[in-house]
Amino acid sequence: MEEQRASRADAQAASPVASNGTRGRPAPVRFEATEEESRRIQALAGSTSGSVRLADPPAVLRADGAERDLQSVLAAFRGRSVFDGGLLREIAAAAELLPWVREVRRVSWAHREGQVCVAFDVVPRVPAAAVLWGGERRLVDIAGALLPAVSYHEEAVADIPWVQGVAVPPPAPGSAWGDPGLRAALDVLDVYARRGFAERRPEMRPVSVLVSLAPERGIARPVADPEVRLSLACGKQLLMTARGGVGRLSIDEQLHHVEDILADPPRWHRIERYADLRFRHTVPAQ
């Protein structure tokens, strides 16, 4: 009997779960069980004392708080049977409403020590920057979603870049912060991180980002193309734009110039304050 239950749990775990509407809804998983076993599992499924397991939480996430949040999600399903083919999809959809959750890949169950253990395979949102707003640091992920600071270890996010100059008020936790300046800053930080500058040279770690939509030389800058001033640990700044266009370089082109400058130490040392990378003619000369 124990082996039969384990095999059914494995089959349930292998069933895909719809996420954010991007994948098709799977057919309900149906089980055949004895009447005695059905009563036992239904009773266990209705118990809020069952355990929750979060698969491979990242170090930045407070796993204990995350598991409490998931327990709260399960509490709404008290009394439901694990034989309900749509139950796991409903649990996954409810879990994806938690502001620190980016995606629920799978929800599964198994018997452990007389209880039903529900396992969550969750992709959490990871803080990418801290927006200064109202005198406080508001964490956001690389997609710009506002994150609850209580869900993350404070020491793990102490060194993420600060973003200043955001004009749009913050949204509800878990929602995207619809500020064009913040979007531009995150786009630059994303490409910058993937280039691995800070890993190769710690003095190139981004400390803060200042975004500005103010007119320049009497010409109003388009809202879709704010100025992004990236301050580095070495004290220098990179003046960038997140949008390519007529006369402007793309983020990749701008950072390619940074690679060229770093490969020429005298050229890098000649930069005292900042390097304007937005236009081809403003890139520091060789």
For 20-173, where are the alpha helices, taking DSSP H only? 35-45, 63-75, 87-95
Mean pLDDT of the region 60-68: 90
- Let me know how long the chain is: 286
How many C-beta atoms surround the C-beta of residue 273 within 10 A? 8
Distance of alpha carbon 180 from alpha carbon 156, whole angstroms? 27
pLDDT digits 0-9 by tens, 240-251: 998 877 778 999
Q: Any idea which of 22-31, 96-105, 204-213 has the lowest mean pLDDT?
A: 22-31
Asked if 192 and 255 touch (Cβ cutoff 8 Å), the reply is yes
Q: Return the pLDDT at 51.
A: 59
- Over residues 60-73, the mean pLDDT reads 90
Q: Tell me the pLDDT tens digit for each residue of 179-228.
A: 999 999 999 999 999 999 999 999 999 999 999 875 444 444 444 578 99
* CA-CA-CA-CA torsion sign (238, 241, 246, 251): positive
% of the chain surpassing 70 pLDDT: 76
User: Cα separation of 149 and 139, whole Å?
Assistant: 6
Q: Which residues pair with 103 in a beta bridge?
A: 123
Q: Residue 214 has what pLDDT?
A: 53
User: CB–CB of 74/90 below 8 Å?
Assistant: no
The pLDDT tens digits of the residues spanning 33-49 come to 444 444 444 444 444 33
Query: What backbone phi and psi angles, to 5 degrees, belong to 69?
Result: -60, -40
32 secondary structure, DSSP code? -
pLDDT for the residue numbered 81: 77
How far is it, in rounded angstroms, from Cα 168 to Cα 177? Answer: 8
- Hunting for tokens 């796991």 — which residue is that? 88
Separation CA 206–CA 184 (nearest Å): 15
Residue 94 burial class via C-beta count within 10 angstroms: exposed 0-12, middle 13-18, buried 19 and up: middle
* pLDDT (0 to 100) of residue 84: 78
Of the two residues 109 and 39, the one the predictor is more confident about is 109
What confidence score (pLDDT) does residue 109 get? 82
Please tell me whether residue 204 adopts helix, strand or coil conformation: helix
**pLDDT value at 94 more than 80:** yes
Average pLDDT value for residue range 14-37: 39
Question: Would you state the pLDDT for residue 119?
Answer: 83
pTM of the model: 0.76
Which DSSP string corresponds to 209-267?
EEEE---BTTBPPPTTS-EEEEEETTS-EEEEES--BTTB--HHHHHHHHHHHHTSHHH
What is the distance between the alpha carbons of residues 211 and 184, in angstroms, rounded to a whole number? 8
pLDDT at 14: 40
